[in-house]
C-alpha cells in the first residue's frame, strides 16, 4: 500500500465514490465524488493529538464493532493515506480537536469535491463482504457465537483485546471452541455457492493458530466436506489434524445457550458414524460465506456490466475471456468476480492488468465488424431494440435507433425482435443468407 501511494504513475483517490461513467473503451469519462474528511490531508501530520482530546466514543467498524474509536479517527492501522477523518454523524462539534491541532489541519466547513477523469480502460476490484448470519446458530443473540472474521479481530495484536483470545460474555479464555462450516453458503435458503474453499482454509488456519498459542484449548471443526483445492492446502489440512484439531463430518442442527454459564450446547449428527449427540462449547465460531459488497449492484449499473447469479460481476466468457466483461474496456479483478482465495485473486488481478494494458500499449482496439446496423428508412422508432440490448449499445435519437458500435457485441437480439426488419448484423444479413442458400441449391 505504501509503494502504491508513492508510485509516480498512480493517483490514489481515497474516501471517494464513483457517481457516473460514460463513454467507451479508450474514452471513458468518470465522475468521482470525494467525500470531505474535515481534515486537510496536506496539513495533517498524523500526530494523533486530536484523538486524545476527542470525548466521543463510537463502535470501531474495523474491529467488527467490538472495540471503540473516537469521532475523529484513522479507519484502520497502517491505512494509506494515514489521514484522520471526522465522523460527522458522531461529532458534537465541541471544537477541542481544532484547538489541539498545531498544523491547523481541521476544517469543519470542508465540502465534497467532484473529480472528472478521462480514462482508456477500467478495472473493477471491489472485494467482498462477510455474510452476517443473524439468527442462525444463535448469532446476534448469544454473545459467544461469532464469525471467523470477528475471531481474527479478537486475536489480532492491534485488536480490541490486545490479541488475547477471550469470549465476550465474561472475557475469560475459552477451553472448548466449536467451528461450524458452510454457514450461509451451499444453501438453497441463502447463497447456493461455495466460497472457493476460503472458509475451510480460514477455519483450519485459525484452529491451528489457537492450538499453537493455546495448546490446552480443544478445537473442533464441524464440516460437510473440507475443500482444499490449492497447492499445499491438503498438507496444511493434515498438519492441523496432527496437531490435535478435531474434525467431525456432520451438520450442527442447533445451538442453545445455557443462561447460567453462557456455554453453548450443540446438537450434532455425525454423518460418518450416524451418531446423533449433544456437546458443549465455550465459544462457537461460524465460517460464513463471502458475499458481494453492499454497493456492487449500484456500481455494476454505472459500468453497464452483467450480474452473475451469485450476485457478483459476470465475466464475458468463463474460459476464453475470464477477466473481461460484456462492456468492452471494463475488466474485473479478484473477488469482484466471485469468491476467491488470495492466490486466485492475485492471479485474477494480474490477468486484468495484462488485459487492460494491451489496448493502452497498442493505443488502438480492434473490434469485429459483426455489429448491428440500422436502416433508418425502415426504423419505426418503437425502441424494442434498445430495450432488449443487454449491452446498452442502442439509443433512440429523434425516434431512430442508433447503435454505438464500440459497445455492441453482435448478439443479434435486436435484429430478432425488430418488427420492421430495420436492424441487421453485418455478415449475417438476410440477403447474405438468401444468396448462400441459392448457391447451395444452384447445382441441384
Task: Give residue-wise pLDDT tens across range 27-44.
Answer: 999 999 999 999 999 999
Pick among 1.10.3720.10, 3.30.450.90, 3.30.70.20, 3.40.190.10: CATH of 36-111: 3.30.70.20
**Helix-, strand-, coil-residue percentages of the chain, each rounded to 5:** 25, 25, 50
Q: Cell 435486436, residue?
A: 414
Beta carbons within 8 Å of 36's beta carbon, 6+ residues apart: 110, 111, 112, 113
Does the pLDDT value for residue 313 go beyond 80? Answer: yes
Pick among 3.40.50.2300, 3.30.420.40, 3.30.70.20, 1.50.10.20: CATH of 372-442: 3.30.70.20
- Considering only residues 37 and 440, tell me which one the structure prediction assigns the higher pLDDT: 37
Does the pLDDT value for residue 164 go beyond 80? Answer: yes
* Peptide bond before residue 81 is cis, with ω within 30 degrees of 0: yes
At residue 432, the pLDDT reads 85
313 exposed, middle or buried (CB, 10 Å; 0-12, 13-18, 19+)? buried
Average pLDDT over residues 60-66: 93
Instruction: Find, among 15, 170, 42, 36, the residue nearest to 110 by Cα.
Output: 36
Q: How far apart are CA 32 and CA 34, in angstroms?
A: 6
Q: How far apart are CA 172 and CA 158, in angstroms?
A: 19
Let me know how long the chain is.
444
Average pLDDT over residues 370-392: 93
37 exposed, middle or buried (CB, 10 Å; 0-12, 13-18, 19+)? buried
Does the pLDDT value for residue 442 go beyond 90? Answer: no
Does the pLDDT value for residue 171 go beyond 90? Answer: yes
Q: How far apart are CA 320 and CA 331, in angstroms?
A: 14
**pLDDT category of residue 90 using cuts at 50, 70 and 90:** very high
Average pLDDT of the chain to the nearest whole number: 94
Q: Which CATH architecture has domain 129-291?
A: 3-Layer(bba) Sandwich (3.50)
Average pLDDT over residues 158-173: 93
In the chain, CATH 3.30.70.20 covers 36-111, 372-442
Does the pLDDT value for residue 430 go beyond 90? Answer: no
Average pLDDT over residues 162-178: 95
Average pLDDT over residues 355-382: 92
Beta carbons within 8 Å of 398's beta carbon, 6+ residues apart: none
At residue 182, the pLDDT reads 95
Instruction: Find, among 272, 163, 173, 267, the residue nearest to 224 by Cα.
Output: 272
Average pLDDT over residues 316-333: 94
pTM for the model: 0.89
Percent of the chain scoring above 70 in pLDDT = 100
Does the pLDDT value for residue 296 go beyond 90? Answer: yes
Does the pLDDT value for residue 365 go beyond 90? Answer: no
At residue 444, the pLDDT reads 65
Does the pLDDT value for residue 230 go beyond 90? Answer: no
Percent of the chain scoring above 90 in pLDDT = 87
Q: How far apart are CA 211 and CA 220, in angstroms?
A: 11
pLDDT tens digits along 241-275 = 999 999 999 989 999 999 999 999 999 999 999 99
Amino acid at each position: 500500500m505504501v509503494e502504491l501511494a508513492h508510485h509516480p504513475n498512480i493517483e490514489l483517490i481515497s474516501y471517494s465514490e464513483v457517481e457516473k461513467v460514460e463513454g467507451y473503451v479508450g474514452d471513458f469519462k468518470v465522475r468521482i465524488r470525494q467525500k470531505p474528511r474535515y481534515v486537510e490531508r496536506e496539513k495533517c501530520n498524523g500526530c494523533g493529538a486530536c484523538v486524545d482530546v476527542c470525548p466521543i466514543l463510537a463502535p470501531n467498524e474495523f474491529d467488527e464493532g467490538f472495540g471503540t474509536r473516537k469521532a475523529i479517527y484513522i479507519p484502520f492501522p497502517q491505512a494509506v493515506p494515514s489521514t484522520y477523518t471526522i465522523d460527522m454523524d458522531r461529532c458534537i462539534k465541541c471544537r477541542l480537536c481544532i484547538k489541539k491541532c498545531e498544523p491547523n489541519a481541521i476544517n469543519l466547513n470542508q465540502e465534497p469535491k467532484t473529480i472528472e477523469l478521462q480514462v482508456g480502460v477500467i478495472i473493477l476490484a471491489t472485494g467482498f463482504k462477510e455474510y452476517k448470519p443473524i439468527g442462525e446458530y444463535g448469532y446476534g443473540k448469544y454473545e459467544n457465537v461469532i464469525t471467523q472474521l470477528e475471531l481474527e479481530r479478537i486475536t489480532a495484536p492491534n485488536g480490541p483485546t490486545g490479541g488475547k483470545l477471550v469470549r465476550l460474555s465474561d472475557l475469560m479464555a475459552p477451553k472448548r471452541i466449536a467451528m461450524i462450516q458452510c454457514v450461509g453458503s451451499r444453501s438453497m435458503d441463502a447463497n447456493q455457492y461455495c466460497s472457493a474453499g476460503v472458509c475451510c482454509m480460514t477455519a483450519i488456519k485459525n484452529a491451528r493458530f489457537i492450538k499453537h498459542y493455546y495448546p490446552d484449548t480443544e478445537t473442533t471443526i464441524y464440516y460437510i466436506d473440507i475443500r482444499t483445492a490449492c497447492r499445499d492446502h491438503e498438507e496444511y489440512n493434515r498438519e492441523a489434524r496432527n496437531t490435535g484439531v478435531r474434525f467431525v463430518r456432520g451438520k450442527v442442527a442447533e445451538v442453545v445457550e445455557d443462561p447460567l454459564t453462557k456455554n453453548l450446547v450443540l446438537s450434532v449428527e455425525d454423518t460418518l458414524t450416524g451418531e446423533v449427540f449433544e456437546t458443549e462449547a465455550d465459544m462457537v465460531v461460524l465460517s460464513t460465506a463471502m458475499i458481494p459488497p453492499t454497493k456492487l449492484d449500484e456500481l455494476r449499473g454505472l459500468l453497464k456490466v452483467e450480474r452473475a447469479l451469485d450476485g457478483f460481476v459476470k465475466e464475458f466468457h468463463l474460459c476464453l475471456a475470464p477477466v473481461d466483461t460484456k462492456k468492452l474496456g471494463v475488466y474485473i479483478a479478484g473477488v469482484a468476480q466471485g469468491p476467491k482465495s488470495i492466490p486466485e485473486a492475485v492471479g485474477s488481478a494480474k490477468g486484468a492488468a495484462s488485459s487492460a494494458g494491451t489496448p493502452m500499449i497498442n493505443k488502438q482496439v480492434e473490434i469485429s465488424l459483426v455489429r448491428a446496423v440500422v436502416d433508418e428508412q425502415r426504423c419505426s422508432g418503437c425502441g424494442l431494440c434498445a430495450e432488449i440490448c443487454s449491452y446498452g449499445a442502442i439509443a433512440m435519437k429523434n425516434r431512430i435507433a442508433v447503435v454505438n458500435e464500440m459497445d455492441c457485441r453482435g448478439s443479434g437480439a435486436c435484429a430478432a425482435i425488430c418488427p420492421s426488419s430495420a436492424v441487421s448484423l453485418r455478415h449475417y444479413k438476410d440477403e447474405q443468407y438468401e444468396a448462400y442458400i441459392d448457391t447451395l441449391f444452384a447445382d441441384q
